[in-house]
Amino acid sequence: MIAVATVGMFVALALATGLLLAFTPYLMRRNECFAVTVPPSAQHDPRLIALKKRYATIMVVVTAVSSIAALVAGVFLIQGSAQSDGKPAAIGIALECAALFIPIVISFALMLRNRRRVVDIKRAEGWTAQAQQAIATIVETDQSQALPLQWNLLYIPVIVGTLAFGLALYPAMPDMLPMHADFAGNVNDWAPKTLGSAIGFPIVFELFMAACLTLCHWMILRSKRPTDPGAPATSALAYGMFARAQSVYLLVVGVLMSGGIGVLFLLSSAGFIGLGQTGVIIMVLCIPVVIGAIALSVVYGQAGSRMFKRIQDEDALLADEDEHWKLGVFYFNPDDASFIVPERFGIGWTMNFARPAAWALMLGVPVLTIAFIVAVSMLV
């Protein structure tokens, strides 16, 4: 049962990831097509429509193949759990990695190919900005915007509550605690009961999640606020609604998932549920998280594009930053003081790699991850 549930989760993850990638071009801002700035009315150009349809069709096929690969990977992992040589498990892990990452690589390659074609169309049609226009917006206090960073203080009672719950359960925990289970849910690694092995791991895990998600929240707040010079108020409002929804979602998911996973590990250590069952419950909890992320993407679009209802028919380009987007996904503009900017192809945010802080953050995240791994290894 545990193995079947895990396979189902793998297939669902591959399917959700692939479909989100397939329909990404339809979720982007109206003046962007495959990471190229175009007039809003160009979205009705038959050539651009054909490129989007072809991209989506290919990615749907790739998604179907990757979902089947994830299913086959699950079968090999189930066989690997029942055999001692480990060969089927290795094949299953390789297939699962391919099922999850190959669609991302193919999506990126297709985006680059279509980006070159859109650039050619743009050049042939003469879609150029005669003058780079920029605007400044004043955010009213009652206007939609991301939650203040102070909301992340909610992680403190979650961590304190987990600590108190763990101390209450500690006397009832067995002398040897389950630490690792195979794919079928059978425990294959144990550790002596200590405060570190019993309570330390859930607390360190929650601290790590709180740090990572607070950093993501901070990035949303620090992001450049994209606005359309032709409709500044409407575009600013649409982006504010998008940023607020994303920050609320991030906070709710972070608090519930970090607290829930911490409590599940404590219950597993105390013997109330099996370690394999804990893994299944965590995977089941991930399903509404993925569904919620997809729902937000569909409802709001990237940077609030789908909330932006004001349609313009003119062909004038008021701003063009194509030269600063390397390969369509890496933003490099030393003249832009913004550190965080919305992505051009995908849902979410990225960094301005011309800012030293971006490289500091890229180095800081691996350091934080390594520190988490070291802390866990010291506890057990």
pLDDT tens digit string along 73-132?
Answer: 877 776 665 565 557 667 777 887 888 889 999 999 999 999 999 999 999 988 876 555
d(CA 14, CA 78): 18
Which of 263 and 307 is assigned the larger pLDDT? 263
| CA–CA separation, 143 and 164 (whole Å) | 39
Domain ranges of the chain: 1-126, 140-380
Nearest of 247, 228, 237 to residue 307 by alpha carbon: 237
Amino acid (1-letter code) at residue 245: A
Residue 359: the pLDDT is 80
- Region 127-149: mean pLDDT is 63
DSSP conformational letter for 282: H
Cα–Cα distance, 161 to 155 (Å, whole number): 10
Which residue in the block uniquely carries the two structure tokens 């003081």? 337
Least confident of 15-29, 31-45, 77-91, 96-110: 77-91
Q: How far apart are CA 136 and CA 156, in angstroms?
A: 37
Is 181 or 74 the better-scoring residue by pLDDT?
A: 74
Query: H-type helices in the chain, by residue range?
Result: 2-22, 46-82, 87-125, 155-169, 195, 201-222, 232-269, 275-300, 356-379
Q: What is the pLDDT of residue 32?
A: 87
- Check residue 299 and give its pLDDT: 86
pLDDT score of 80: 62
Instruction: Report the C-alpha gap between 343 and 332 in whole angstroms.
Output: 12
The owner of tokens 């890229």 is 362
pLDDT above 80: residue 62: yes
pLDDT bracket for residue 312 (50, 70, 90): very low
Q: What is the pLDDT of residue 311?
A: 37
Residue 4: per-residue pLDDT: 58
Burial per residue of 234-259, b for 16 or more beta-carbon CB atoms within 10 angstroms, e otherwise = bbbbbbbbbbbbbbeebbebbbebbb
Contacts of 288 (CB under 8 A, 6+ apart): none
Angle separating helix axes 87-125 and 2-22, nearest 10 degrees: 10
pLDDT tens across 186-207, in order?
A: 676 778 888 888 888 889 889 9
What is the rounded CA–CA span in Å between residue 38 and residue 74?
Answer: 43
Q: Radius of gyration (Cα) for the chain, nearest Å?
A: 24
For 316-344, what is the mean pLDDT? 78
| Mean of pLDDT values over 48-67 | 94
